[in-house]
Chains A and B, each alone.
Chain A
């Protein structure tokens, strides 16, 4: 990528691709022609890049806990929660059993329809990945189906680095179903199965329930493991300490968390908070 020395460098979770672009358009109303370098990846991958020295002025991730796990206090002072979302099962009009799948039988469809392909993102790189594993754990308990988590984990066909890749794979017909954020599903125009609030990781009222789900991933150092506990989905944004455009970054965050940014987030299926 060609780099501009004065460019505003934004690193963000793939799921935020569209709203981040729209907020840049708003920023450019005050700074016409402002060079912006926009990069995206799974949130943990983004944070690891910053921890490894990658220059960024703004970092927006799908889980505030990633900041605490990998970036605070050495690379970031604090993060700001700006949006929530929920986990859904995305599909389209060409997905097998698309007309009969529902909130109660989705697991039967995924596990028993011959040749069906479903995907999740990589829990080591992307919060959507570990949230999918948490969703499956919670579903096992909620639907009283012992062994469901293990069967779903053994049955997926494709693993992607970030949630946006699942949506692209669904669009291209590489998979039939994908565990995804509702916001991305709406941005891409897919249909989705919405799960009960007890398991979809959207509702602070069920925080204690979500906390029963746990996923172990590799830690900050080789050989170390980190246990991630289930919690309501909260997207957060921060200005890394190595930012060279702190004032501009603050203006961007004011847009993202202000009235116009809230409208952008709403229009893209997120819930500003």
Chain B
């Protein structure tokens, strides 16, 4: 996942994916920040999102009522703040997924038209 880097002459900004991705991971399993940063990596192979950005987004999401944190103690390690998704968070995740479906359709239409025009003009 790229936070605002250009993928050509048109900038594709994906920084708005940070919160939906965190919500998705927390929806999958209540987690603490350390764990979320590690799991975020699987969805962000380029590794461009810094830990501080993840922690700040988690706090922002809690302030907005999307997640709720509690101290989770473990037998072998320290207590860490664990995040659980709220009803508002689930609704926000649903909206994000719907938005992405819409964007996917737009991108597919864009690519279909682009390929058609390239083919017609004889360029590739």
- A258 and B78 alpha carbons, distance in the complex (Å): 18
Interface stretch, picked from B7-15, B17-25, B51-59, is: B51-59
* A67 touches B (CB below 8 Å): yes
Residue A264 CB within 8 A of the other chain: no
**Contact indicator B80/A81 (Cβ below 8 Å):** yes
A202 CB-CB contact with B under 8 Å? yes
Size bracket of the B interface: 20 to 34
User: Mask for A64-92, Cβ within 8 A of B = 1, else 0?
Assistant: 10011000000000111100100000000
- A273 on the B face (CB < 8 A): yes
The listed residue with most B CB atoms (<10 A of its CB), out of A232, A234, A273, is A273
Q: How far is the CA of A67 from the CA of B76 in the complex (A)?
A: 11
| In contact, A234 and B78 (Cβ under 8 angstroms) | yes
Find out whether the CB atom of B55 lies under 8 angstroms from the CB atom of A273.
yes
Q: Which residues of B lie under 8 Å from residue A197 when comparing CB positions?
A: 47, 50
How distant is B54 from chain A, measured CB to nearest CB, in Å?
Answer: 9
Q: Does A170 have its Cβ within 8 Å of any Cβ on chain B?
A: no
Cβ A79 vs Cβ B79 within 8 A: yes
Give the docked Cα–Cα distance between A198 and B41 (Å).
14
Question: Once the chains are docked, how many angstroms separate the CA of A236 from the CA of B73?
Answer: 13
> Which residues in chain B, 38-71, are within 8 Å of chain A measured between CB atoms?
38, 40-41, 47, 50-52, 55-56, 59, 63, 71
The complex places the Cα of A269 from the Cα of B41 at a distance, in Å, of: 24
A84 engages B78 (CB within 8 Å): no
- Which B residues are in CB contact (< 8 Å) with A180? none
Interface size on A, residues (CB 8 A): 23
Which residue numbers of B lie inside 8 Å of A, CB to CB? 33-35, 37-38, 40-41, 47, 50-52, 55-56, 59, 63, 71, 73, 77-81
Measured CB to CB, the residues of A under 8 A from B are: 64, 67-68, 78-81, 84, 197, 202-205, 207, 232, 234, 236, 257, 259, 262, 271-273
Question: What are 25 residue pairs bridging A and B, where the CB atoms are less than 8 Å apart in the complex?
Answer: A64-B78, A68-B78, A78-B73, A78-B78, A79-B78, A79-B79, A80-B78, A80-B79, A80-B80, A81-B80, A81-B81, A84-B51, A84-B55, A197-B47, A203-B37, A203-B50, A205-B40, A205-B47, A257-B81, A262-B59, A271-B51, A271-B55, A273-B33, A273-B55, A273-B80
14 additional contacts (CB under 8 A) given A80-B71, A204-B35, A204-B38 = A68-B78, A78-B79, A80-B78, A81-B81, A84-B55, A203-B51, A205-B37, A205-B38, A205-B40, A234-B78, A257-B81, A259-B63, A271-B55, A273-B55
| Smallest CB-CB A-B distances: 9 pairs | A64-B78, A204-B37, A79-B78, A271-B52, A80-B79, A205-B41, A204-B34, A273-B55, A81-B78
